[in-house]
Amino acid sequence: MLERMFDVVSDVVLIDQVGAASRAESVAIAARFAAIGALDTLREQELIDSILWRTDPYEEVCAEVSAAMRISRGRARTQVHHARVLRDKLPQVAARFAVGDIDYRVVRMIITRTETAARRCPNAHAPANKTAKTASPKNDACAPNSTTTSHTNATTKPGSPKNTDHHHHSDPLVVSTLGAFL
């Protein structure tokens, strides 16, 4: 009887089911991150409203997430971190994730690359100080179309291709990364 049930279903229907299940999984994971982010916001507000500090709200949320998901505290910290990044720094990515347009693998990659870019270019989004000397875009490793070689491989030999894998901390990075997966 079970064999006959699978014979009737076409491959197109099965492929559609795989895609729908994948999108539903992304929606569910995004909902979990939204709930973790909301819990984190709630705990931070409780700390602001309280005179007595019970514990660090971040550690409190990590402990609660760890218990709720039945995972280690270390894995819970990663979950809380990703929830915070999606909530605070990448809301457009969170919105695409929430409707299933991208999956968790892509979200993790975007978070990692954005953090890498932030480490390489810590002042990329800092307001410009008009009285301070500003670096020339030609010499600024974080400037688009930079000609600097500060991120090239130290062992690059003359005539060999240079490492041009520069990550810029900007919205176009996220947009171009998303574009590759949509």
Closest alpha carbon to 69 in 87, 83, 85, 53: 83
Q: Consecutive sets of 10 residues in the chain, 182 residues long: mean pLDDT of each?
A: 64 96 98 98 88 81 98 98 98 98 98 93 63 48 49 41 41 56 53
The answer to whether residue 4 sits within a structural domain is no
- Give residue 36's pLDDT: 99
Q: Is residue 19 part of a domain?
A: yes
Say if 167 falls within a structural domain.
Answer: no
How many domains does the chain divide into? 1
Residues in contact with 90: Cβ distance below 8 Å, sequence separation at least 6, in sequence order: 110, 111, 114, 174
Evaluate whether residue 50 is within a structural domain.
Answer: yes
User: Does some domain include residue 159?
Assistant: no
User: How far apart (Å, rounded) are the C-alpha atoms in residues 146 and 179?
Assistant: 23
Give residue 87's pLDDT. Answer: 98
**Residue 164 falls within a domain, yes or no?**
no
Q: d(Cα 16, Cα 11) in Å, to the nearest integer?
A: 9
Instruction: Decide if 154 is inside a domain.
Output: no
pLDDT reported for residue 8: 73
Domain coverage including residue 93: 11-119
pLDDT of amino acid 121: 87
